[in-house]
Amino acid sequence: MVAKLTQGFWAKIARIILRNRITILVLLAIITIFMSMQWDKMRFSNSQANLLPDHHPVNLEYLSFLKQFGEEGNVVVLAVKDSSLFTPEKFNRWNKLSKQLGAFPEVDFVLSTDNLQELVKDTVKQEFVMQPFIKQTPKTKKEVDSLTNHLFNDLPFYDNLIYNKKSHTIRSVIYLDKDIVNTSVRKDFILEDLSTLVKNFEKETGLDVRISGMPYIRTMNSQNIIDEIGKFILAALGVTSLIFFFFFRSFRATIISMFVVIIGVMWAFGILGLLQYEITVLTALIPPLIIVIGIPNCIFLINKYQQEVKKHGNQALSLQRVISKIGNATLMTNVTTASGFATFIITDSKLLKEFGIVASINIIGIFVLSLLIIPIIYSFMSLPKDKHLKHLNTKWIETFVSWMERIVRERRITVYIVSIALLVASIIGIYQIDISGSPIEDMPKKAEFFQDIRFFEQEFDGIMPVEIVVDTERPKGVLKPTTLRKMDELGTVINEIPELSRPVSVVDLVKYSKQAFYSGIPKYYQLPTSQENTFIMDVARKSADNGNLLSSFVDSTGQVARMTTYMKDVKTSRMETIEAKLKENIDKIFPSDRYKVTMTGSALLFLKGTKYLVKNLIMSLALAIGLIALFMAYLFRSFRMIVISLIPNLLPLVITAGVMGFVGVPIKPSTILVFSIAFGISVDDTIHFLAKYRQELTSNHWRIKKSVYAALRETGVSMFYTSIVLFFGFSVFIISSFGGTVALGALVSATLLFAMLANLILLPSLLLSLERSIANKQVLKEPQIDILPKEEPNITDKEE
């Protein structure tokens, strides 16, 4: 009953479409124009992607830190490692560059050799005062050498901050205005003003300036994403159109298909603008994804139209049958594909949720466009010529299908042995997979800014901030000698961890105060002894009250202090070991009844975010499998058929996971997406095959063998076409400079290839082997929905 209603529904849809062609085209044009008007509302991501939900405890700690001490990721650093810098002309030009940068309203403060301050004791006022490091512009090499010698040997406070003592690398630290760090103003300043000044400096001096810092990295990374969107779209259009033409040998069929997917891309950008979502590394993939996923719709529809034309040559009836017969099948397959993406919506990650919403909406959108545009455009054209129909009898495709049929007939045991062997090997590989929580791992390795990241890691021990917040739980408790000693003890632990930089905190300022008290002698750069503490700390407190020296290290009440260190790009396992070691020492050094100590910072935030995301994505994959299993149950009403249909779709996922383990591709936000995307797409082939198999069972009086081989021959060609398009379509992501996008493209392509072979070889083999088990009334009942309506006999041109 339901099946008959479904057939009647699609016949009615076909009549509506073909009788209102002009109206529908005008309506589509209006919607497309409206969507294109939304493009200017698209926003490019200016802030670092937060993978944790707003209410997550780790996120709340980080937000609390930002509220107390302001934006941590507002520092851009410039560095030069070249002995020729220490000549009067170049050294003064370096100082001039700092002055130029400090003049911009986007810059809050620049710390460099130009404005470096020395802490000295004013014996008259009995306080510490700041004096300029450079009292007058050096004019000779001897004067420059004297300054740099003084810097490297007498000012340990600035070690690893302004200079590297071993390599004599000099850097300037630019603190951006915290209000513009997460806005487009930051991007304009970095790409235009900063870049121009640095290029001019390099041109005048011949020195190579290295640039880094989280605002700079994020800006350059975002720019790379923007640059790649156009590259992906052109590559996807080029590859899919070439393959499409190779299969169909028809310019007009290729042009029509490209027209459909281009409108789909315009809608994709329009929906991003309409919803005012940011263009991120994930949402940037949606336009090319729509091309890759949209082309199979075009293949099914055009292939069916040409088959109908070849049968009876009646254009009106051919178009009517395309909509009524293929409409339901393509709707089902697009719904399953959209379901794979829609499962991301249940995650608490804003990044993934937006990706899931836009992708699933656009997949249904491209289905609607295909179903409306292709029949309508063909209705205005003449019938395809014989040369356009030749591909329906392509010899090599027939050879390929015959080869698969022969394997299914004669080599089923071999198929099972190979499948089990692959399953066992893959499970071994899965146990070797690592989880990656590095925010820079997927960044373009060949990009100049990535090389600069590695430079700063080597010279200054890392670029990802780790913040340790010490709450003494009493006002002015930070400057108590006990607290300072405990912080210094923790600083020693941090120094012993090679992946962390020297921590910067109020302890360094107090040590510098003691050095200043003893006339700047470097050996006194240490915490005051109990005997010295009273008079040195009195001077220090007085100086702090006057000059606000502590504001960067301690909150306004003097109760909470921060210790800032920077972490190198390390594997997640090592990052977790470092975190555990720090926590162990924090618990040992700071009694929980007197201190509340927390760790935060963008490095740890990304680590926790990655683990949280992986957990949520595994849940979303399980949900996708569950939803599609329910969908198959609704279609076929048989538990055995659900199991049989899931096996050839789950095996490719396991194989891909095994390959990741053996090849060394870690689980991370970009690669975990592979499984939900690939599963949602690969199950389409299963639906097509089983739907045709169910239809053949009816026409062949429930003879399973005959039905399986007939279904294999009938669906093998279209499944091969679409799988090849999808394989090469997703392969275009390999041209990306982002490691995650490359992995996504390669892994999805490989998974879909495995899935095609599984659906064309393993699935029919299972049906034949379990012939007696599934040939019962439960399977043979009329399905809830006939995906493929019963074949009608050939008719004459007179039929309507």
Other C-beta atoms closer than 10 Å to the C-beta of 248 total: 24
Q: What is the pLDDT of residue 114?
A: 87
Residue with tokens 């513009």: 180
Q: What is the pLDDT of residue 424?
A: 93
Report d(CA 83, CA 343) in Å as an integer.
Answer: 56
Helix, coil or strand: residue 500: strand
Query: Are the C-beta atoms of 779 and 636 separated by less than 8 Å?
Result: yes
Q: Which two tokens stand for residue 679?
A: 């599963």
SS3 string, 332-353, reads HHHHHHHHHHHHHHHCCCHHHH
Report d(CA 468, CA 564) in Å as an integer.
Answer: 7
Other C-beta atoms closer than 10 Å to the C-beta of 733 total: 26
Q: What is the pLDDT of residue 518?
A: 84
Query: Which residues touch 260 (CB under 8 Å, ≥6 apart)?
Result: 294, 297, 298, 366, 369, 370, 373, 374
* Identity of the amino acid at 541: R
Report d(CA 699, CA 126) in Å as an integer.
Answer: 103
Report d(CA 232, CA 729) in Å as an integer.
Answer: 10
Query: Are the C-beta atoms of 98 and 147 separated by less than 8 Å?
Result: no
CA dihedral over 579, 580, 586, 587, signed as positive or negative? positive
Q: What is the pLDDT of residue 773?
A: 58
Q: What is the pLDDT of residue 774?
A: 56
Residue with tokens 């071993």: 166
Query: Are the C-beta atoms of 784 and 2 separated by less than 8 Å?
Result: yes
Report d(CA 628, CA 80) in Å as an integer.
Answer: 57
Query: Are the C-beta atoms of 253 and 241 separated by less than 8 Å?
Result: no
DSSP codes joined into one string, 722-753: HHHHHHHHHHGGGG-SSHHHHHHHHHHHHHHH
Other C-beta atoms closer than 10 Å to the C-beta of 609 total: 24
Q: What is the pLDDT of residue 369?
A: 92
The alpha carbons of the chain give a radius of gyration, in whole angstroms, of 33
Report d(CA 123, CA 145) in Å as an integer.
Answer: 29
Strand partners, 171: 79
Mean pLDDT per 10-residue interval, the chain, length 800 residues: 60 85 92 89 64 77 80 81 91 91 87 84 72 87 90 87 88 84 79 89 91 84 79 84 80 87 91 85 80 83 79 80 77 81 78 86 92 89 68 68 82 89 91 74 78 86 84 86 91 90 86 84 85 67 50 81 86 84 92 89 78 75 77 71 82 88 80 77 78 74 78 78 83 81 84 87 83 52 49 42
Report d(CA 336, CA 679) in Å as an integer.
Answer: 9
Residue with tokens 């430079």: 455
Q: What is the pLDDT of residue 180?
A: 76
Q: Pairing mode, if any, of strands 210-212 and 117-122?
A: unpaired
Report d(CA 665, CA 739) in Å as an integer.
Answer: 10
Q: What is the pLDDT of residue 45?
A: 61
Angle (CA) 43-745-665 rounded to 5° is: 110
What are the φ/ψ torsions at residue 166 (nearest 5 degrees)? Answer: -70, -45
Closest C-alpha among 106, 109, 79 to residue 94: 79
Q: Pairing mode, if any, of strands 75-80 and 43-44?
A: unpaired
Other C-beta atoms closer than 10 Å to the C-beta of 167 total: 11
Task: Look up the CATH number of domain 2-47+220-431+606-780.
Answer: 1.20.1640.10
End-to-end CA distance of the chain: 25
Helix, coil or strand: residue 718: helix
Closest C-alpha among 683, 766, 773, 668 to residue 722: 683
